[in-house]
Amino acid sequence: MKAARALLEMLHRYKVEYVFGLPGETTLGLYDEWKRFEGVTHVMARDERHAVFMADGYARTSGRPGVCEGPSVGATHMVPGVVEALKSSIPMIVMTSDIPLYLEKHNMLTGFDQAALFSPFVKESLTAYRGDDIPFLVRRAFRVATSGCPGPVHLRLPMDVLAEEVTAPLPPAQERFCFCPGTRPVPERGDIAEAAKALESCKRGVMVCGQGVLTSRAWEEVERTAERFGLSTGTTINGKGSISELHPLSIGVIGARGSSEFSNSFLEEADLVFFVGSSTDSVGTNTWQLPCSSRGVSFIHLNISERDLGNSFSEGLLLHGDVKSSLRAILDAAGEPGSYGPLERGENIAMKRAATVAAPSSADHLDPRAATRHITGAMPAGSVIVADPGMSAVYPAAFYKLPKAGRFFVTNYAMGALGYGLPAAIGATFAVGCEVPVLNFIGDGSFGFTSGELETAARLKRNLKIILFNNRSFGWIRATNFFSFGAPHFATDFVDVDFPGLARSYGLSAFRASSEEELKDVLPCLFSENGPALLELVVPPEDECVPPVPEWGIKSRKEGLECHYWG
């Protein structure tokens, strides 16, 4: 068989159902084989960058490696999505077709050194020099992408190699690498015992769960660990879903994005902080101010990434391993619960939460917090939220309490680039059932990067609901400029755009709300059908209606501005 057919057969053996991409001349030979291959479905995007984001959203939601492809001419467009996948530790197979390599120095159109471009941003870049290389490289790609700290792997496929005959029988898939994580290493036994002892003896312990908990699918172990040791349990914005936020030990999102004074206060008072599957980045620690290491707090850091282990808080116990297996080992090593158990800690959390005073809603505009409350209250159970960075991410992160642990909230606060959410949400729709809606919370600034994918949404007819926060600006940058340098605003504001009209021109149902009453009226229509729809929310910019960001909350109080930084 041709190497192109062998590639498709190997993807099928690795249980790949969908590949996200778009056509180009160097990929036509592969597409010709694809016409006669029904085992893997191709999902066409409108931009190579968005194809990668679709694979990213699919991977996070499904637990399987995301697979995407692009032609040589569009390979450079794929880099932003690949960098996000690397920084977020998302397992991904990134395939690019190419010109014949012997013509690269002859200046053939679209040809360049793809391996040099991708190598800094992937776990490995693999080039097929012969057709017989492809089965071996596919096996290696899945093994590398899903093992250890997950991440993207680049597979470079010259068009002439795809046309060659494969002479050897195709090898079987290594099935453990069809899903992530493919391996589950555990720390040394003595370190496990030391961790269990430290958790047993702490009085004000806090567990901080990052995205690694979700990648490891360890939410059951997180809940058991919290209950066994009586740990107040928060998540980073990327780790939201690591524990049910209705659990008595949950304190919600912590750090610099989507947090509250209530949640961050537990880190300020902790005697021990247990980072679990967290990179301890600037967002999750409020630029490394939470917790304050000079106050004598103890640290335990469990992470699969050797690069991030102990990276920000070096003093403490370092546990290198998979979250799920390592937490199980700690629980096995622990004795009976001490006198200060989860019941007492849960009561303390409830009392502290009850004492928190919420800021009132404004009556003269559509309040983003109220809008989030109404939308999440109306969406069907099990819905998935995929949020772009900015206002559209921090409001559901702070004010939507996930009733069930699991991957029901996705955002890209590793890099935080605009243009992620809509294509990632499209990818996520392929990971959930058709009856389950995926909501893309997106700002008008981010929407400008991805509006062409409205055609994709209409063509695919996925159960996608686009919630567009329109503040007529790059609101996050506008607010950052305001709080850092003061007025006037610079290079942030937009002209008015008829977003519902644009959506309808692509064939989507579309609605608009500029008040709570209008929002209540349109929500039943938004969720009445399984097809794609857009809802525009007309809201103030962030410097006029300050979202839950600690630094801004402090400054806004001094300025007397409306502030949503509350518990």
Contact 424, 410 (CB under 8 A): yes
Q: What is the CATH number of domain 3-167?
A: 3.40.50.970
How much is the pLDDT for 483?
85
How much is the pLDDT for 129?
97
Residue type, 324: K
> 189-354: same fold as 3-167?
yes
How much is the pLDDT for 290?
87
Spell out the per-residue pLDDT of the chain, length 567, in tens: 999 999 999 999 999 999 999 999 999 999 999 999 999 999 999 999 999 999 999 999 999 999 999 999 999 999 999 999 999 999 999 999 999 999 988 989 889 999 999 999 999 999 999 999 999 999 999 999 999 999 999 999 999 999 999 999 999 999 999 999 999 999 999 999 999 999 999 999 999 999 999 999 999 999 999 999 999 999 999 999 999 999 999 999 999 999 988 999 999 999 999 999 999 999 989 888 888 766 789 999 999 999 999 998 867 999 999 999 999 999 999 977 755 456 778 888 988 888 775 555 555 689 999 999 999 999 999 999 999 999 999 999 999 999 999 999 999 999 999 999 999 999 999 999 888 999 999 999 999 999 999 999 999 999 999 999 999 999 889 988 888 888 888 999 999 999 999 999 999 999 999 999 999 999 999 999 899 999 999 999 888 888 888 877 777 766 666 666 544
Per-residue exposure over 236-252, b if at least 16 CB sit within 10 Å of its own CB, e if not: bbbbbbbbbbebbbbbb
Q: Give which of 524, 354, 350, 535 is closest to 439, Cα–Cα.
A: 535
Q: What is the CATH number of domain 368-563?
A: 3.40.50.970
How much is the pLDDT for 525?
95
Q: Six-digit token pair at 296? A: 């004598």
HEC secondary structure over 33-83: HHCCCCCCEEEECCCHHHHHHHHHHHHHHHCCCEEEEECHHHHHHHHHHHH
Task: Give how far Cα 521 sits from Cα of 432, 435, 516, Å.
Answer: 28, 22, 9
The β-bridge relationship of strands 509-513 and 533-538 is: parallel
Q: How far apart are CA 326 and CA 352, in angstroms?
A: 31
Q: Which helix (H) or strand (E) holds 97?
A: strand 92-98
Q: How far apart are CA 476 and CA 473, in angstroms?
A: 8
Kindly tell me the sign of the dihedral angle through the C-alpha atoms of 409, 410, 415, 419: negative
Domain boundary assignment for the chain: 3-167, 189-354, 368-563
- Give the position of tokens 């390592």: 326
Q: How far apart are CA 212 and CA 21, in angstroms?
A: 27
Kindly report the CATH class assigned to 189-354: alpha beta
Q: How far apart are CA 121 and CA 528, in angstroms?
A: 42
Diameter over CA atoms, the chain: 75
How much is the pLDDT for 294?
62
pTM: predicted TM-score of the whole model, two decimal places: 0.95
How much is the pLDDT for 567?
44
Q: How far apart are CA 551 and CA 567, in angstroms?
A: 15
